């Protein structure tokens, strides 16, 4: 057997396998989305929730912004996405139809507008002040009502009570 003739052939086969394995690992099927979330003054909005929703499949990818208002969503499959950002005290901002391409990083910066101030009223059921089960009249005084005295109640004077 002639080893010298087989050696170059084996080396070339190993080199081809090495090159093919490097090419096969280089196949990407996704992209990335990066950006910042700010308010109308340009200040960063920390802890905002950013969502990339695929318009065709409905699959959502979510992350939150850091203290500088920056976010990054990795490994997002290619396609058309709606990018939205929400934060407490702000209205939702949306970038519709962002096209993500294979092996690219797309940039989507969002500006959140200040939301409307809302007030909530908590109504709770109270116990009835009148006891309808008995004919008794009852009054409950607390320490504050006894401090006020009985200024609202006037007694008729004795002279008036006996005048004819």
CB 71 within 8 A of CB 50: yes
56 vs 21, more confident: 56
Strand ordering across the sheet containing 60-64: 60-64, 49-54, 79-86, 93-100
Across 1-156, where does the E strand assignment appear?
A: 30-38, 49-54, 60-64, 70-77, 79-86, 93-100, 105-107, 110-111
pLDDT (tens digit per residue) in 63-82: 999 999 999 999 999 999 99
Is 164 a residue whose pLDDT tops 80? no
pLDDT (tens digit per residue) in 133-147: 676 666 666 666 555
CA distance 44 to 33: 18
CB 76 within 8 A of CB 31: yes
CB 80 within 8 A of CB 55: yes
Tell me, what's the pLDDT at 10? 75
Is 6 a residue whose pLDDT tops 60? yes
Is 48 a residue whose pLDDT tops 80? yes
Tell me, what's the pLDDT at 151? 53
Closest CA to 87 of 32, 36, 33, 34: 36
CB 109 within 8 A of CB 85: no
Q: What is the pTM of this model?
A: 0.57
38 vs 143, more confident: 38
Is 124 a residue whose pLDDT tops 90? no
The DSSP 8-state label assigned to residue 28 in this structure reads -
Tell me, what's the pLDDT at 147? 54
CA distance 41 to 111: 9
Side-chain half-sphere exposure of 42, counting CA atoms within 13 A: 0
Is 46 a residue whose pLDDT tops 60? yes
Is 8 a residue whose pLDDT tops 60? yes
Q: Average pLDDT, whole number, for the chain?
A: 81
Please give the domain boundaries of the chain with CATH numbers for all domains.
28-111 (2.60.40.1120)
């Amino acid at each position: 057997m002639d080893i010298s003739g087989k050696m170059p052939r084996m080396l070339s086969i190993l080199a081809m396998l090495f090159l093919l394995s490097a090419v096969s690992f280089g196949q990407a099927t996704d992209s990335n989305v990066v950006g910042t979330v700010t308010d109308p003054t340009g200040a960063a909005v920390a802890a905002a929730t950013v969502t990339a929703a695929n318009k065709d499949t409905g699959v959502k990818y979510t992350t939150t912004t850091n203290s500088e208002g920056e976010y990054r969503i990795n490994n997002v499959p290619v396609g058309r996405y709606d990018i939205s950002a929400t934060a407490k005290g702000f209205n939702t901002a949306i970038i519709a139809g962002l096209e993500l391409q294979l092996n690219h990083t797309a940039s989507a910066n969002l500006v959140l507008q200040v939301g409307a101030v809302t007030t909530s009223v908590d109504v709770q059921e109270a116990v009835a002040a009148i006891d309808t089960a008995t004919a008794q009249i009852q009054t409950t005084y607390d320490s504050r009502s006894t401090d006020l005295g009985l200024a609202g109640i006037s007694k008729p004077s004795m002279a008036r009570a006996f005048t004819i």
